[in-house]
A and B are shown apart, each in its own frame.
Chain A
Amino acid sequence: MDLIFFRIAVALYLAASVGYLGFLLLSSRSSAPIPFWCAVAGFVSHSLSIVHRAVFSGFFPLATPFDVLSFFAWLVVGIFLLIRYRDPSPIFGSIVTPLASVVMIYASTLSYQIKEPLVPVLRSWWLPIHVTLALLGNGIFAVMAIGGLMYIFQERLIKKKRIGRLHRLLPSLETLDTINRHGLPLGFFLLTLGIISGALWAGSAWGVYWSWDPKETWSLITWFAYAAMIHQRMVLGWRGKRAAVLAILGFCLVMFTFLGVSALLGGYHTFGDATRFLRPSGI
């Protein structure tokens, strides 16, 4: 019962995915609004599910891996719905809605039991600030990577002179490069704020701003990677295909920092195990 909105949202996102797929196969213009409104309805239900979790836990629902992934999917769908106003081509939806569905189905296999009482460090206002900034940055990087992938496909089709349905469905190279051009500084800015807010939170919780926890280290590596990307784009004029490839590689790094580090390297960002929150390792 407590996941009812979440399940409805997953069902609607899946319905939108199927609808978008049907659209891609049939190129029927009149059916395009259906998956979009499914996605909107899913987003509303998803929002309700997050509100519900917040009421349930009495605080921002970001304390379990389930909640963090759910929130991440929510942000990605939200960014997609915003972008859709600028570029109504349905192909973005046909990637974002399945992606959100997969992330959410994966999330629902993870622990969503909120431990009572919540560890004090998670009762801080820094929690929503830090997590929202970090995940919003990740969401932007995700959209950039999707745009990059489409850029590489579209550019290849045009170069090889294979002008078919897929070519027409994909947005123009210019549009896709614009996503990269706007996304890069914005995502980088959010990542920077995410790292700073994390450090401030650590400072207020434990009195130490930076303790070279694996997540911190990898965030810093990610930060340098995107800083380098900005340099290539702004100074050397890298755009188009090169920028697209970098966006995809950068996002692989982001995903490793986001999911891989906790799973493989541990550290106090491992949400499942509350004891780790008591003291950062090495202090």
Chain B
Amino acid sequence: MEIVVIGLNHSTAPVDIREKITFPGDEEGKVTHTLRELEGVEEVVLLSTCNRAEVVALTVDVEESPHRLVKAIGDIHGLEPSAFRPFLYVKTRREAVRHLFRVASSLDSMVLGEPQILGQVKEGYRRATKVNATGPILNRLMHRAFFTAKRVRNETGVGNAAVSVAYVAVELANKILGDLKTKRILLIGAGEMAELAARHLNSQVEQPISVANRTYENACSLASELCGEVVPMEELNAGLVRADVVITSTSGRDPLITKEQFKQVMRRRRFRPIFIIDIAIPRDVAPEVNDLDGVYLYNIDDLQGVAEENLGERRREALRAERIVAEEVTKFLDWTKSLDAAPTIVALKERLEQIRRDELSRLNGKLSNLNPQEREAVEMITRSIINKIAHNPIIFLKRTGKSSKRNLYLDTAQRLFKLDGPPASPQDGDEEPHRQ
């Protein structure tokens, strides 16, 4: 019985393939259920995002089942397997577990460290549980994947620094102006990038955004689109005095804002700090404006530079995340190894014997006045009690070898007698709710 991952993602498949493999109709887990019904497939979870499609399955044999799954994927989408076979990766055992943990931790994402993927993995798991497509192995596997993702998020900085220009702008605005709620944004000019940055900032601001444009009509239409108000170009200085974040993106030849002019503005602002994002090329704001006290001027190259540097930082943090993943993979595989009848029975016997010995030594004081024969009798009675208790479970576990619910029974036995890990420790196995 092995874990298999079959999938394609942004690095193995072009977009025209990715957009075809989307598992349509899986909102209620129907596709998951179909795959679960395949011969040799014990448990299944499907994962589908705009950048990846993956099937995580517990299969009886590693050789045959992937072929069946690939064919089934083709049937679901009405495609010949040969059409997408070259773009697929098939990972098994350790590689499969590692892959899933990396995906959940966003180490395999197109934008390294982006936070949505974990939610998407959880959603895939939710659908699978809804149609009872998972069992003890994948339940455990998925929960360990969530746990790994949580550890990566908490213990490394892989999701910390903003890596898109718009988010860099928002983060900087936060670092300069603190809470943006009461702050004002002024957008001068128009353009895709400027509007994107304005929209991101606008979502954090309660005051209406101000829009200025050389063409009054353009200003009006953009303002109404962003639920803002228009500032006539002649009153630009007044607008600059009021604003806390300024985004400029006009197509004029001459600088719109000069140092001398802005000195006046700063005095009228009583030196309240201001963050200016100059997206225009050629630049709207004279670079020397940055030298003024309380003015923080960033142009598009500056923001891009920050984004790239942040990405480098995420990559460095990802190296530490990989170590966490490796650790968790080993832990999980150790657990799967223990899911075997023989070690489980041994562990069960040991646990019961340990309980017997602990209880006897606790009563040592009261038993001290027994003579050797009586002591021997107590030993015998207790031993025979635990043997009687263990007898039926052990026979049952021995017979499960071929049953399809073997993993479930072994897992249940381990949980009932707390055979994994030290006694009475609420670690590890306990944090996952058991679904079945």
Binding site for B on A (CB under 8 A): 27-31, 154, 158-159, 161, 163-165, 167-168, 170, 172-175, 178, 237-242
Please, could you name 6 A-B residue pairs with CB atoms under 8 Å apart, sorted by A?
A: A28-B155, A159-B296, A173-B175, A174-B179, A238-B271, A242-B293
Segment touching A, from B138-146, B303-311, B425-433:
B303-311
The CA-CA distance from A180 to B116 in the complex, in Å, is: 39
Select from chain B the residue with minimum beta-carbon distance to A30: B154
The CA-CA distance from A158 to B277 in the complex, in Å, is: 13
The CA-CA distance from A154 to B176 in the complex, in Å, is: 9
| B313-A164 in contact (CB<8A) | yes
Segment touching A, from B67-75, B156-164, B338-346, B369-377:
B156-164
| A161-B177 in contact (CB<8A) | no
Select from chain A the residue with minimum beta-carbon distance to B179: A174
Task: Verify if B49 is at the interface (C-beta below 8 Å from A).
Answer: no
A31 partner residues in chain B, CB cutoff 8 A? 155
The CA-CA distance from A240 to B275 in the complex, in Å, is: 14
The CA-CA distance from A239 to B266 in the complex, in Å, is: 12
A165 partner residues in chain B, CB cutoff 8 A? 157, 313
Task: Verify if B101 is at the interface (C-beta below 8 Å from A).
Answer: no
The CA-CA distance from A188 to B172 in the complex, in Å, is: 33
| B293-A164 in contact (CB<8A) | no
| B271-A154 in contact (CB<8A) | no
B156 in complex: contacting residue of A28, A164, A167, A239, CB < 8 Å: A28
| B160-A173 in contact (CB<8A) | no
B293 partner residues in chain A, CB cutoff 8 A? 240-242
Select from chain A the residue with minimum beta-carbon distance to B168: A163
Task: Verify if B327 is at the interface (C-beta below 8 Å from A).
Answer: no
Given the interface pairs A29-B155, A164-B309, the reply to whether A158 lies near B174 with Cβ below 8 Å is no
A30 partner residues in chain B, CB cutoff 8 A? 151, 154-155
Binding site for A on B (CB under 8 A): 151, 153-157, 160-161, 168, 172, 174-179, 270-273, 290, 293-294, 296, 298, 302, 305-306, 309-310, 313, 317
B296 in complex: contacting residue of A158, A178, A238, CB < 8 Å: A158
The CA-CA distance from A158 to B154 in the complex, in Å, is: 26
B270 partner residues in chain A, CB cutoff 8 A? 237
The CA-CA distance from A197 to B151 in the complex, in Å, is: 54
| B176-A158 in contact (CB<8A) | yes
Q: Please list the 9 inter-chain residue pairs (A to B) with the smallest Cβ-Cβ separation, ordered nearest first.
A: A174-B178, A237-B270, A30-B154, A27-B157, A163-B306, A172-B178, A28-B155, A172-B175, A29-B154
The CA-CA distance from A245 to B310 in the complex, in Å, is: 30
| B273-A168 in contact (CB<8A) | no
B172 in complex: contacting residue of A27, A158, A237, A241, CB < 8 Å: A158
| B298-A161 in contact (CB<8A) | yes
Chain B's nearest CB lies how many Å from the CB of A232? 11
Given the interface pairs A28-B156, A30-B154, the reply to whether A240 lies near B161 with Cβ below 8 Å is no
The CA-CA distance from A127 to B174 in the complex, in Å, is: 45
| A239-B271 in contact (CB<8A) | yes
B179 partner residues in chain A, CB cutoff 8 A? 174
| A175-B172 in contact (CB<8A) | no
A161 in complex: contacting residue of B151, B155, B305, CB < 8 Å: B305
| A240-B177 in contact (CB<8A) | no
- Given contact pairs A29-B155, A158-B172, A240-B294, enumerate 20 new A-B contacts (beta carbons under 8 Å): A30-B151, A30-B155, A154-B175, A161-B298, A161-B305, A163-B172, A163-B306, A164-B309, A168-B160, A170-B175, A172-B174, A172-B175, A172-B176, A173-B177, A173-B178, A175-B178, A237-B271, A239-B294, A240-B293, A241-B293
| B271-A158 in contact (CB<8A) | no
| B155-A168 in contact (CB<8A) | no
B153 partner residues in chain A, CB cutoff 8 A? 29
| A159-B160 in contact (CB<8A) | no
Select from chain A the residue with minimum beta-carbon distance to B290: A159
A170 partner residues in chain B, CB cutoff 8 A? 175
Select from chain A the residue with minimum beta-carbon distance to B173: A172
The CA-CA distance from A45 to B156 in the complex, in Å, is: 33
B155 partner residues in chain A, CB cutoff 8 A? 28-31
B272 partner residues in chain A, CB cutoff 8 A? 239
Select from chain B the residue with minimum beta-carbon distance to A238: B271
| A163-B271 in contact (CB<8A) | no
Chain B's nearest CB lies how many Å from the CB of A23? 11
The CA-CA distance from A158 to B175 in the complex, in Å, is: 9
Select from chain B the residue with minimum beta-carbon distance to A176: B178
